[in-house]
Copies of this chain bind each other. A is one copy, B any other.
Amino acid sequence: MEPGDILSEDTKSVIEQMDIFFNSRSIAVVGASRMTGKVGHIIFRNLADNRRRGIYEGEIYPINPNEESILGYRCYPNLKKIGEEVELIVIAVPARIVPSIMEDAEEKGVKAAVIISSGFSEIGENELEERVKAIAVRAGIRVLGPNCLGVYDSYTGVDMLFLPETKTLSNRNVVIATPRPTPGNIAIVTQSGAFGAAAVDHLAGQEMGLSKLISFGNKVDVAEAEVLLYLLHDDKTKVILLYIEGITEGREFVEVARLVTRHKPVIALKAGRTEAGARAALSHTGAIAGSDRIFDGLFKQVGILRARNMEGFFDMAEALALQPPATGRNIAIVTDAGGPGIMAADECEALGLNVRRFSDETLRRFEALREEGKIPSFATYQNPVDLTGVVTSEMYELSTRILLEDRDVHGIIVLGLHHTPHLTEDFTDRIAKLSSVYRKPIVGCDIGETEMAMYIRSRFNKLGIPAYSSPEDAAYAMVALVRYGLYLSKRGYM
């Protein structure tokens, strides 16, 4: 079944409601401001900029009783004064006046609200939060937040990121502080706004594209399950990253997660896995972390891949965004550097993958290459295949082809350390070309933090081969492809 085939009325309704957050025809920014640095200024400006560029195609309205106009847009004293329909509002005013804004929104017939404002249950103002919630429920307004970073959609131009895009250092140099990633196919769903901003910064720097970012904050209404369901049906999203500290709606989450992971990989970074972490989570978002083992079991049961840490979270995403899942655990390693080959083999085995001696047929094919002088006489190929320091691009191509054609090999790690004298950058192109022919995952690695290493990794990535800066990171990325593949095949989905 493809996710879009037959949708229940309930699902259709959820998708329509969630769609307002990303794709609304009209947005009012309550608390819009002329003053630089103010949240209500930055958000309104993001939208105005994107509208001028033709990225955001809807209407936008600034709401502020003290201004006539903001950035050339007529300013309204309140929502009710707008003559046209308003689908979505973004609220960036002090917490205590949020209830009255919600009442205006009810009267105006607004469909959804993003409450950026903080000062609710996260600081003990539970009663205020309950009042907001009650109005929303009564009015049928779907609410994201409060105390959140809102939404960023790289395709529709809805951009509520209110953190400064640039900062000015004391030497008056301007530097990028909160960048915007390019459009891509990774969605981020996060309970922590700060982590959302950090994630965006990481993705942008790593040249990984983003489809959408959604930050929940206090979750008075919209939470994980509905967003996951929406992302399942979002054509722009291929991989979903989920940062959570706890889950409020267990049963619904399980049901939706199981459905989503059948079609798209979901990777979770669950914080609060130790006693100290759980205590911190409790004081951060009030999440009751529960036993970490319960989450482990839950994730496994519904096919969510759990990342071991922040770096693994992004590394897994990159692998799943670019490569197909593996159909088994047998991994081949090809390298020009013995030591790093061992490091990759160690990490694979430590994480439950197999790095086995190849089949006789494959060994014969390598032996033939050696006899023809196409790989060095002192190359070894028991797995890892070590082409040694005299490696050329052609040797990588010939070896990778043999491994792609070996049915007992389910995934390939290509360690291409560029330091060897004869290796030219076209080995990445050769491997990518092979990769496009065979449906078997390949991940790459080059070690180093100077020009050529970064160039090789970037080139690999652009060609669709996720590439990492250490052998262990490459192995961990392969683990994601294997785990997802095994989940799908165990359930008969692949």
Contacts and interface: CB of A to CB of B under 8 A. Distances in A.
Nearest to A389: B194
A386 interface: yes
B339 A191 contact: yes
Contact of A346 (B37, B276, B424): B276
Contacts of A105: none
A429 to B, nearest CB: 10
Given A272-B346, A473-B311, A340 B202 contact: no
A255 interface: no
A206 B176 CA distance: 20
Contact of A194 (B339, B380, B450): B339
Contacts of A285: 338
A245 B473 CA distance: 20
A340 B195 contact: yes
Nearest to A171: B425
A177 B452 contact: yes
Interface stretch (A74-82, A347-355, A433-441): A347-355
A418 interface: yes
A131 interface: no
A219 interface: no
Copy count, this protein chain:
2
Contacts of A274: 345-346, 349-350
A179 B206 CA distance: 22
Interface string A109-147: 000000000110011000000000000000000000000
B201 A164 contact: no
A6 interface: no
A176 B450 contact: yes
A205 B453 contact: yes
A273 B123 CA distance: 48
Contact of A310 (B201, B205, B471): B471
Given A176-B450, A201-B450, A449-B205, A417 B194 contact: yes
Q: Determine which residue in A198, A347, A421, A471 has the highest number of CB atoms from chain B within 10 A of its CB, and name it.
A: A198
A346 B271 contact: yes
Contact of A342 (B170, B281, B342, B383): B281
25 contacts: A167-B424, A167-B425, A169-B455, A170-B425, A176-B451, A179-B448, A195-B339, A198-B419, A204-B449, A204-B450, A205-B449, A205-B450, A245-B339, A272-B342, A274-B345, A275-B349, A276-B345, A276-B348, A276-B355, A276-B356, A276-B383, A277-B345, A280-B384, A284-B342, A284-B380
Interface of A: 37, 118-119, 122-123, 163-164, 167, 169-170, 175-179, 190-195, 197-199, 201-202, 204-206, 243, 245, 269, 271-277, 279-281, 283-285, 309-311, 336-343, 345-350, 354-357, 377-378, 380, 382-384, 386, 389, 417-421, 424-426, 447-455, 469-473
What are the 5 A-B residue pairs with the smallest beta carbon separation, nearest first? Answer: A205-B449, A201-B448, A192-B339, A194-B337, A277-B346
